């Protein structure tokens, strides 16, 4: 994948190199489109890099992790002839004129744009959260399970991800405390039923963690329960935050139609309300975010763009 010269007009500018952006780029290459992919991270893969569970729901594929999934894609990516710039920060993008300006000052021009920026985990925004990242604040219960054995853990969140992680840790940790804002858990019944009967799991509904405390590592969380006058501290050595995700759409706000949670709205061709601006993958799919959904949407957008460009020629 050679480096593109920025002064040329591209057929397609793809923003984001997770599974959606990569699948779109492969399709664009196959369809003979001049394609440039911009990725802000150092490497491609997006959320795949933080999937530590087996991936068994992508038809025909069974792999141990997101990285293994990426390894399957690698030979195709290396053989393909699209341009890819990683470590690239976009300063601004004008979706109407299809012009982008990079932090480096470089200006890019394209005929069409595909937004494939995915989602990121929501953060609590409380003291201690950033300071103790990697020092007791966990990235993945699956990955860190062995390391957590014998330790007391607090999980923050009330949905499927929080519940699934609580159950995963409950067999190796003496106590797992689930703290969530709501009156009742949003997690599916299969999980909540198992949690309620589990001897290691305690659930604090209508409660929030307001501080994470420690010296060099996490040592405690401060919890405020509804109607309690004062917060209390609970000793834990691990904290896992699972309070949902948010779409990466800050660059595009006020330019295209987003839904009430800031996900991009698209039609059946993956096109936004602006002509030749498409959105694919999790950033446009709040209901069923999956790798197969992301790659399928990439194929749709690429094919629509190719058929329009062929008609123009
Ligand atoms: C723990 C976990 C387990 C999962 N397990 C499964 C599973 O078993 N099966 C399954 O199908 N799915 C699973 N998923 C979901 C799956 O990973 C996502 O649906 C998929 O990664 C979405 O792909 P995407 O390309 O739309 O977005 P992402 O993977 O989020 O990629 C978006 C990319 O865009 C980049 N980006 C964002 N903003 C910008 C910007 N301004 N400029 C340039 N680049 C930008 C990001 O850095 C990222 O590389 C899991 C997810 C997680 C977190």
- Give the pLDDT confidence of 87-97 residue by residue, as tens digits: 999 999 999 99
Residue with the smallest CA separation from ligand 1 atom 4 is 51
Q: Which atom of ligand 1 is nearest to the CA of 161?
A: 1
Tell whether ligand 1 has an atom less than 6 A from the beta carbon of residue 53. Answer: yes
* Mean pLDDT across 172-187: 95
Tell whether ligand 1 has an atom less than 6 A from the beta carbon of residue 164. Answer: no
212-253 pLDDT, tens per residue?
999 999 999 999 998 888 999 999 999 999 999 999 999 999
Give the Cα separation of 154 and 156 in Å (integer). 7
Determine whether 26 is exposed, middle or buried from the number of CB atoms within 10 Å of its CB (0-12, 13-18, 19+).
Answer: buried
Assess whether pLDDT exceeds 70 at residue 313: no
Q: Which atom of ligand 1 is nearest to the CA of 280?
A: 26
| Predicted pLDDT at 228 | 85
Residues contacting 127, CB < 8 A, separation 6+: 211, 212
- Tell me the pTM: 0.92
Q: Do residues 202 and 215 lie in contact, with contact meaning Cβ atoms separated by under 8 Å?
A: no
């Amino acid at each position: 994948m050679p480096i593109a010269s920025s002064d040329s007009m591209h057929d397609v500018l793809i923003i984001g190199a997770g599974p959606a952006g990569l699948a779109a780029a492969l399709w664009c290459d196959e369809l003979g489109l001049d394609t440039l992919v911009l990725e802000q991270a150092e490497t491609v893969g997006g959320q795949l890099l933080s999937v530590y569970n087996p991936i068994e729901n992508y038809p025909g594929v069974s792999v141990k992790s997101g990285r293994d999934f990426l390894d399957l894609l690698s030979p195709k990516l290396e053989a393909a002839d699209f341009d890819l710039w990683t470590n690239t920060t976009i300063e601004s993008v004008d979706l109407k004129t299809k012009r982008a300006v990079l932090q480096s000052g470089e200006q890019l021009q394209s005929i069409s744009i595909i937004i494939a920026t995915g989602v990121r985990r929501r953060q609590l925004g409380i003291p201690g959260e950033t300071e103790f990242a990697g020092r007791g604040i966990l990235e993945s219960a699956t990955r860190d399970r062995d390391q957590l054995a014998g330790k007391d853990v607090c999980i923050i969140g009330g949905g499927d991800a929080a519940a699934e992680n609580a159950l995963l840790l409950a067999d190796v940790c003496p106590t797992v405390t689930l703290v969530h804002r709501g009156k009742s858990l949003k997690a599916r019944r299969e999980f909540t039923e198992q949690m309620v009967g589990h001897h290691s799991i305690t659930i604090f509904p209508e409660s929030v963690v307001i501080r994470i405390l420690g010296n060099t590592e996490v040592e405690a969380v401060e919890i405020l329960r509804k109607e309690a006058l004062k917060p209390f501290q609970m000793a834990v050595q691990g904290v896992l935050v699972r309070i949902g995700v948010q779409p990466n759409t800050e660059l595009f706000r006020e330019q295209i139609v987003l839904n009430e949670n800031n996900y991009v709205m698209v039609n059946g061709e993956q096109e936004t309300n602006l002509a030749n601006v498409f959105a694919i993958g999790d950033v446009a799919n709040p209901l069923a975010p999956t790798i197969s959904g992301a790659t399928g949407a990439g194929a749709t957008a690429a094919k629509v763009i190719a058929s329009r460009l062929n008609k123009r020629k």
